[in-house]
């Protein structure tokens, strides 16, 4: 194994260069970096890859003679990636000579074998030295969101949705058979615990960076740092069965010594809530629906007309928002099904249904709460 972990606080981000140097990598002339920029959040949130670390990486690669650096992302279904790249500051990285910032939804793709069929991957991820720059954070469907899960951001919206219908853990693991990074880095300076992967999680100052050449081994060490046995994460266990890499617990425990922390893990009860507003989900719920509570409350910050509705749904009565093809039907409170996947549930149980697939009109949704 070729695996490095170091303590790095917010004021010593330059240590990233020491970590990569320890891996003794010879970089070619073209490098593709895939950060985690799931939506418009600041680098200090623990939700997205710290842009300042990416700046350090750019300078390092330039010093190593890399001529062309491509930074690309395709964020949550239904979210404007061009807008996210601008508001997150990532779009400004194109000012550096030889650096291009890409909306992966518009990049040329190649078809690769995937779970008995095919999947479309950005050609650039195969043509360049590929760096997966992930986050150290929890995820209320997959327990963790590290390197393997970050690869889902390579996909078009249609394939992201297909992942949830196929079973998220299995699809995430099999994706690493189709495309796997040459280097995986996990930014764990500002990490996320609790009901991640976005704003319902809580910032945790973990102050670590993990890097290695094998994505499964990097993720496994990340799990141990979070206080979680990697065998308890289904997509890591499947990835090992697929021979993506090894999970050598004896070796990993030695690496993790002195770095282990206790992260608050997702409750895994099939729902998340804010006071009396519940969002029910399953493995078949895609990220766009999973992010609905965050979208509702972010919308309300700028639209005062929605406050009475929000107050009524969150404080005065219990409201259950049901998503995905398979989710439990709560017996208490008012139920609303949201999204095309939940249409059959709504019809079968005579529940009010609001359509859409990623491109939800949040204002209309709030009016119906």
Q: For position 50, which CATH number holds?
A: 3.40.50
263 in any annotated domain: no
* Mean of the per-residue pLDDT values of the chain: 93
Residues 318 and 176 in one domain: no
The DSSP result for 148-213, as a single string, is HHHGGGGS-HHHHHHHHHH-HHHHHHHHHHH---SEEEEEEEEEEEES-SSTTEEEEEEEEEEEES
Residues 36 and 149 in one domain: yes
Residues 25 and 155 in one domain: yes
120 in any annotated domain: yes
- pLDDT at 325 (0 to 100): 80
Q: What are 167-216's pLDDT values in tens digits?
A: 899 999 999 999 999 999 999 999 999 999 988 899 999 999 999 999 99
What distance in Å separates the CA atoms of residue 44 and residue 38, rounded to the nearest whole number?
A: 14
Q: Which of 36, 89, 104, 94 is nearest to 69 (CA)?
A: 94
265 in any annotated domain: no
Q: Which of 208, 159, 205 is nearest to 4 (CA)?
A: 208
Count structural domains, the chain: 2
Q: Which of 19, 15, 11 is nearest to 255 (CA)?
A: 19
262 in any annotated domain: no
Residues 62 and 144 in one domain: yes
Residues 92 and 239 in one domain: yes
Evaluate if residue 305 carries a pLDDT over 80. yes
Residues 173 and 309 in one domain: no
Residues 247 and 295 in one domain: no
- pLDDT at 321 (0 to 100): 93
Compute the CA torsion angle 163, 166, 171, 175 (nearest 10 deg).
-70
Residues 252 and 277 in one domain: no
- Average pLDDT rounded to a whole number, residues 225-248: 98
Q: Which of 226, 256, 286 is the last residue of a domain?
A: 256
Q: pLDDT tier at 43 (50, 70, 90 boundaries)?
A: very high
Q: Which of 129, 135, 126, 147 is nearest to 51 (CA)?
A: 135
- Average pLDDT rounded to a whole number, residues 37-43: 91
Neighbouring residues of 136: CB distance < 8 A, sequence distance ≥ 6 = 146, 186, 187, 188, 191, 192, 206, 208, 210, 222, 225, 226
185 in any annotated domain: yes
The more confidently predicted of residues 326 and 19 is 19
What distance in Å separates the CA atoms of residue 259 and residue 253, rounded to the nearest whole number?
A: 10
Evaluate if residue 139 carries a pLDDT over 90. yes
Residues 66 and 214 in one domain: yes
Q: What are 338-364's pLDDT values in tens digits?
A: 988 899 999 999 999 998 887 788 898
Helix-helix angle 51-63:15-22, to 10 degrees: 50
Residues 243 and 290 in one domain: no
Backbone phi and psi for residue 222, each to the nearest 5 degrees, phi listed first: -60, -40
Evaluate if residue 88 carries a pLDDT over 80. yes
Q: Which of 198, 233, 256 is the last residue of a domain?
A: 256
Residues 244 and 302 in one domain: no
159 in any annotated domain: yes
Residues 175 and 279 in one domain: no
- pLDDT at 39 (0 to 100): 86
Give residue 315's domain range: 271-367
Instruction: Provide the β-strand partners of residue 211.
Output: 4, 185
DSSP 264: P
202 in any annotated domain: yes
Retrieve residue 332's tokens: 């208490």
- pLDDT at 1 (0 to 100): 56
- Average pLDDT rounded to a whole number, residues 155-159: 92
264 in any annotated domain: no
Q: Which of 242, 222, 363, 227 is nearest to 304 (CA)?
A: 363
């Amino acid at each position: 194994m070729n695996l490095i972990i170091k303590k790095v606080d917010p004021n010593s981000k330059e240590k990233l260069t020491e970590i990569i140097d320890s891996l003794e990598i010879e970089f070619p002339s073209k490098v593709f970096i895939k950060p985690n920029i799931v939506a418009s959040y600041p680098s200090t949130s623990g939700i997205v890859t710290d842009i300042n670390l990416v700046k350090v990486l750019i300078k390092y690669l330039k010093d190593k003679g890399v001529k062309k650096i491509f930074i690309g992302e395709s964020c949550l279904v239904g979210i404007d990636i061009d807008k996210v790249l601008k508001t997150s500051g990532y779009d400004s990285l194109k000012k550096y000579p030889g650096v291009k910032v890409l909306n992966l939804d518009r990049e040329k793709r190649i078809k690769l074998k995937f779970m008995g069929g095919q999947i479309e991957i950005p050609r650039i991820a195969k043509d360049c030295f590929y760096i997966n720059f992930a986050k150290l954070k929890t995820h209320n469907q997959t327990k963790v969101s590290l390197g393997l899960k970050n690869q889902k951001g390579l996909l078009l919206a249609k394939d992201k949705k297909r992942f949830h219908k196929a079973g998220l853990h299995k699809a995430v693991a099999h994706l690493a058979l189709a495309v796997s990074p040459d280097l995986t880095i996990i930014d764990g300076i500002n990490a996320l615990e609790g009901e991640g992967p976005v704003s319902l999680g809580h910032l945790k100052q973990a102050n670590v960076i993990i890097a290695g050449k094998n994505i499964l081994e990097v993720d496994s060490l990340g799990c141990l740092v979070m206080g979680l046995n990697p065998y308890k994460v289904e997509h890591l266990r499947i990835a090992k069965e697929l021979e993506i890499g090894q999970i050598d617990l004896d070796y990993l425990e030695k690496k993790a010594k002195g770095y282990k922390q206790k992260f608050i893990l997702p409750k895994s009860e099939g729902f998340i809530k804010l006071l009396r507003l519940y969002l029910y989900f399953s493995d078949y719920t895609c990220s766009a629906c999973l992010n609905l509570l965050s979208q509702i409350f972010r919308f309300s910050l700028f639209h005062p007309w929605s406050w009475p509705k929000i107050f009524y749904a969150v404080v005065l009565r219990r409201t259950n928002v049901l998503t995905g093809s398979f989710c439990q039907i709560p017996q208490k409170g008012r139920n609303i099904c949201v999204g095309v996947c939940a249409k059959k549930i709504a019809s079968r149980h005579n529940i009010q249904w609001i359509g859409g697939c990623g491109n939800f009109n949040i204002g209309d949704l709030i009016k119906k709460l």
